[in-house]
A and B are shown apart, each in its own frame.
Chain A
Amino acid sequence: MAVLPSDPIAAGQLGALIPPPMARRRRASWVRSLDVYIPGGFLLLLVLACFVWPVVYPVPQPVGGSILDASLGIGAPGHLLGTDTVGNDILARLLYGGRVSFEVAAATQVVGGVVGTMIGIVSTYLGGIAEAVVMRLLDVLLAIPAFILALTLLEGLGQGELNIIWALSIFFIPAFARLARAATLSLKEQTFVVAAHLTGTKRWRSIMRHIVPNVAPGLLTFALLNAGVAIIIEATLSFFGYGIPPPGPSWGNMIADGQQVMSTQPRLILVPSILLLVTVIALNTLGDGLRARWGVQ
């Protein structure tokens, strides 16, 4: 190179051409984090809206609207998004319906995740007959189509949010168990787990302190992806009349009701559908983003 680093002009030109690597790296990492911040922030806003907004800022009741207020348009006084065919406020129904969706998503992932993960980890870590029996039982559960399983369970249990949660939790158990099993199989052979065993750590303690913390990030991102699935299944069940009993609000119910007047009032079906779609996309994006960030396969 003819340009000496001590030459101020040349150095200045070089500096203009090539941004300092530090600054570039900082901006890049900030940009890279957007795949977590954007869906995360959106979901946070949505959850706050569903659970906090109706408490701090009064919205009309989601049920028992007057037929005199039926089919009001967007921006009608007192009804920001208008009303549906029986006079219920759409915004209120969206928010209260969102509560159901998020409650179902969170509860099924917590119950299914904890139970499935523990089944997968413990049976795999202990090995032997326990492992074989548990895994074959889970294969049976996995072989039944998810929706049929949920429908059958709800047929027996009856409608209602709590019953949906139980039915979907059972549906998610085998998926978590298999993932936890795969992770445990490789962890079990890791030197630090062998080292813990040889150092005298008891099996239960090893599971809780070594296996679970190292499996957790992968399962958490998996749960986020599953949460979207849970919301969709809940909406589908409600659409078919197996979910939240009408007139109770739920995104699925709203879509089912709106379907009858799809040609005259498309917003009744569009608004909850778009919200459902965006929520599921946000959950998937957040799950993918966290997976990439934590380096989980």
Chain B
Amino acid sequence: MAEATMTTTPSAVAGREGSDVLLDVRNVTQEFVLRNHGGVKGGILRAVSDVSFQMRHGETLGVVGETGSGKSTLARSVLQAPPPKAGEVIFRGKDLTKLHRKELLAMRQHVQMVFQDPPASLDPKWKVTQIVEEPLLAFGYGDRAKRRARVAELLELVGLDPRLHGGRKARELSGGQCQRVAIARAIALHPELIVCDEAVSSLDVLVQAQVLNLFERLRAELGLSYLFIAHDLALVKQVSDRVLVLYLGKLCELGPADDMFKAPAHPYTLALLASVPSPDPNAGRPETNRVISGELPSPLNPPSGCRFRTRCPRAEERCAAEEPQLRFVGPGHQVACHFPLVETPVAAPTTNGTGRL
């Protein structure tokens, strides 16, 4: 998947700012104020803290982490729904966090989202054709006949029959079909980036494979980039060029998928990998010291220093006192850990000295 990254995608041809960076997320922090009964402040939940990453045109970036690690919040922050409390989201050269409502609305045609629960993401009162037509109407695409033709074209593109499925409502479709409709809606306006928030998690394995194939085909045909959120590591490994690991809203590790799965640098990444069941009966049980135990600590009161230290087998005193900063352990491979599993410090980062890609 990685080789398609920079070459022929239509969006990359435009070459804005002479770079192929599509999305630049800088120090994004998202907080929610919890309120008790009567509106009394109950505490601040920091769902995402100080996360930075970049995405190139045509790239698929996987985001993994446990439930509650802030994956979906990060995705929503990128889409400004709701906007993050701090940080910048630079997409197509514009900082989305500083755009006015109308400008932001206009940007929405370039970035679309596919949701976790397919039937819930479709209005129960609408027909499939209306649902797919919605973005076309929102951006004033052609006249009625032109929109109809485009809807039919889109439905065929995602493998649905416009005449058979077009008149149905969400409850008359299977989960996989619903997700195809949602994908048709997402690609209707030729977006450059699609955020997939657990887009295949609720589908059964066979349908999952079909939808993943559809994603891959659309990427090749339309030059899409995906921000692909999932908790299934095997899935992320299969689709991603690079992977970002989140723990309690903090970025743990970010690097090329192949490197990371071969040689994870963060103990948490290793633990996640160890938790993937192996289909090989001779592989034996996973080493118990690699599998972490316990629950995710409360994000209302995160541990000091490194947030993973309470569950980390390698934790030492330094981890509680000092918060680990991101550093490079390989080309394009960053980790935030005092004692990374891969100890091959690179002399200088590949592009610039600011610790960015």
Pairwise interchain contact B134-A192, C-beta atoms closer than 8 A? no
Contact B120 A192 (CB under 8 A): yes
B123 touches A214 (CB 8 A): yes
For the complex, what is the distance from the CA of A198 to the CA of B194, rounded to whole Å? 11
Which residue on B lies nearest to A193, using beta carbons?
B123
Q: CA separation between A191 and B178, bound complex, in Å?
A: 13
Number of A-B contacts defined by CB within 8 Å: 56
A198: chain B residues within 8 A (beta carbon): 79, 81, 108, 112-113
The one of A194, A199, A210 in contact with B108, judged by C-beta atoms closer than 8 angstroms, is: A199
- From B116, B125, B134, A199 is in contact (CB under 8 Å) with B134
* Set of chain A residues within 8 Å of B186, measured between Cβ atoms: 199
A205 to B109, CA, bound (A): 17
B117 within 8 A of A: yes
> Does B227 touch A at the CB level, under 8 Å?
no
A293 at the interface (CB under 8 A from B): no
* B105 interface contact, C-beta 8 A: yes
Contact B125 A200 (CB under 8 A): no
Instruction: Give the distance to chain A from B340, nearest Cβ to Cβ, in Å.
Output: 37
Find out whether the CB atom of A200 lies under 8 angstroms from the CB atom of B121. Answer: no
Given A195-B113, A214-B125, do A200 and B135 touch, yes or no (CB 8 Å)?
Answer: yes
Query: Across the interface, which residues of A come within 8 angstroms of B123, CB to CB?
Result: 192, 196, 209-210, 213-214
Q: Cβ of A200 and Cβ of B115 under 8 Å apart?
A: no
Distance between A59 CB and nearest chain B CB, rounded to angstroms:
44
A32 at interface (Cβ–Cβ under 8 A)?
Answer: no
Query: Which of A192, A200, A214 lies at the interface centre, i.e. has the most chain B CB atoms within 10 A of its CB?
Result: A200
In the complex, chain A residues whose CB is within 8 Å of the CB of B120: 190-192
* Nearest chain A CB to B97 CB, angstrom units: 16
The size of the chain A interface, using a CB distance under 8 A, is 17
Which of A191, A194, A205, A213 touches B138 (beta carbons < 8 Å)? A205
CB–CB A200/B189 < 8 A: yes
Does chain A have a CB within 8 A of B57? no
Out of B116, B117, B134, B189, name the residue touching A196 (CB < 8 Å). Answer: B134
A24 at the interface (CB under 8 A from B): no
Q: A200-B189, A214-B125 are in contact. Are A191 and B135 (CB under 8 A)?
A: no
Would you give the shortest CB distance from A204 to chain B, in whole angstroms? Answer: 12
A213 to B134, CA, bound (A): 16
Can you list, as one digit per residue, whether each of A162-206 has a CB less than 8 Å from chain B (1) or not (0)?
Answer: 000000000000000000000000000011101111111110010
Residues on A with beta carbons closer than 8 Å to the beta carbon of B189: 200
CA distance A53 to B262 in the complex (A): 86
Residues of A near B12 (CB, < 8 A) are: none
Q: In the complex, A196 Cα to B113 Cα: how many Å? A: 10
Q: Chain A's nearest CB lies how many Å from the CB of B205?
A: 23
CB distance from B175 to the nearest CB of A (A): 13
Bound Cα distance A196, B121 (Å): 9
Nearest CB of A to B18, in Å: 29
Q: Choose one: B79, B121, B134, B185; the contact of A191 (CB below 8 Å).
A: B121
> Closest residue to B107 on the A side, CB-wise?
A200
The number of residues on chain B lying at the interface, defined by a beta carbon within 8 Å of a beta carbon of chain A, is 26
Q: A198's closest neighbor in chain B, by CB?
A: B113
Known interface pairs A198-B112, A199-B138, A200-B135; A191-B105 also in contact (CB < 8 Å): no
Report if B124 contacts A (CB, 8 A): yes
Residues of chain B from 76 to 94 with CB closer than 8 A to chain A in the complex = 79, 81
* Interface SS of A by simple majority: helix
B105 touches A192 (CB 8 A): no
Interface residues of B in 90-147 (CB under 8 A from A): 105-106, 108-109, 112-113, 115-117, 120-125, 134-135, 137-139
Check if A200 sits within 8 Å of B79, measured CB to CB: no
Q: Are B124 and A199 in contact (CB under 8 A)?
A: no
Min distance, Cβ A157 to any Cβ of chain B, angstroms: 39
* Given A191-B115, A194-B81, A195-B182: A201 in contact with B138 (beta carbons within 8 A): yes
A202-B125 in contact (CB<8A): no
Closest chain B residue to A214, Cβ basis? B125
Q: What distance in Å separates the Cβ of B92 from its nearest Cβ neighbour in chain A?
A: 15
Given A190-B120, A192-B123, A213-B125, A200 contacting B138 (CB threshold 8 A) = yes
Q: Which residue of B lies closest to A201 (CB)?
A: B138
Contacts of A196 in B (CB 8 A): 123, 134
Contact A200 B113 (CB under 8 A): no
B108 x A200 contact (CB < 8 A): yes
Chain A residues lying within 8 Å of B139, measured Cβ to Cβ, are: 200
Q: In the complex, A199 Cα to B79 Cα: how many Å?
A: 11
Q: Is the CB of B138 within 8 A of A214?
A: no
> Nearest Cβ distance between residue A207 and chain B, in whole angstroms?
13
Cα separation A201 to B113 with both chains bound (whole Å): 13
Chain B residues near A205 (CB-CB < 8 A): 138
Task: Mark each residue of chain B from 184 to 195: 1 if its CB lies under 8 Å from any CB of chain A, else 0.
Answer: 011001000000
The docked-state distance in angstroms from the alpha carbon of A200 to that of B139 is 7
Return the chain B residue nearest A210 by Cβ: B123
A255 to chain B, nearest CB (A): 43
Q: Which of B105, B115, B124, B125 contacts A195 (CB 8 A)?
A: B115
A270 CA to B121 CA in the complex, in Å? Answer: 55
A190 partner residues in chain B, CB cutoff 8 A: 120
Contacts of B116 in A (CB 8 A): 191
Closest-by-CB residue of A relative to B81 is: A198
Q: Name the residue among B113, B116, B139 with the largest chain A CB count within 10 angstroms.
A: B113
Which residues from B are CB-within-8-Å of A200?
105-106, 108-109, 135, 138-139, 189
Q: Which 7 A-B pairs have the closest CB atoms?
A: A200-B138, A200-B108, A191-B120, A191-B121, A199-B135, A192-B123, A201-B138
> Which A residues have a C-beta under 8 Å from some C-beta of B?
190-192, 194-202, 205, 209-210, 213-214
Cross-chain pairs A/B with CB under 8 angstroms, 12 sampled: A191-B115, A191-B116, A192-B120, A197-B81, A198-B79, A199-B112, A200-B105, A200-B106, A201-B134, A201-B137, A210-B123, A213-B125
Q: Interface on B for A, CB 8 Å cutoff? A: 79, 81, 105-106, 108-109, 112-113, 115-117, 120-125, 134-135, 137-139, 182, 185-186, 189
